[in-house]
Amino acid sequence: MQALREWRLEGLAENVELLVSEIVTNAVRACAWSAESQPDQVKAEDASTLLFWLAADGERVLIQVWDGCEGKPQRREPAVAAESGRGLLLVETLSAEWGLYAVNGWAGKVVWALVAKAT
């Protein structure tokens, strides 16, 4: 990611990219699910609007993704052979912290994750 190079945080790029992918995918699937689609069969036309922010302070990168769906992310215990269902486990494992919050006056929620340099 260009921004991580500019911030001199290239060492965090792999984890940041994976977490962005997982959080965005979870948001798209959650919104499609709430629209009565099957979560493993999401089509582009089922996706809602998402907002994405990336910020850094020289030591950490903050990922934030807003979606307009009310459902909160829930960790699942997938079967060993399952091809999906491990997104929040990855978020928990690769981030220093993560969570969600509501934005006053907006529907939905923001899911965030903080990726920090190893100490």
Q: Strands 97-101 and 60-67: what pairing?
A: unpaired
Top-tier CATH class for 2-76+85-116: alpha beta
Looking at residue 92, its amino acid is E
Which pair of tokens denotes residue 77?
């215990």
Choose among 50, 70, 69, 61: nearest CA to 1: 61
In terms of DSSP H, where are the helices of the chain? 2-6, 13-34, 87-94
pTM (2 d.p.):
0.81
Size of the chain in residues: 119
pLDDT per residue as tens digits for the range 56-102: 999 999 999 999 888 888 777 766 676 666 778 889 999 999 999 99
Write out the two tokens for 28: 């798209």
28-61 pLDDT per residue, tens: 887 876 555 444 554 555 456 899 999 999 999 9
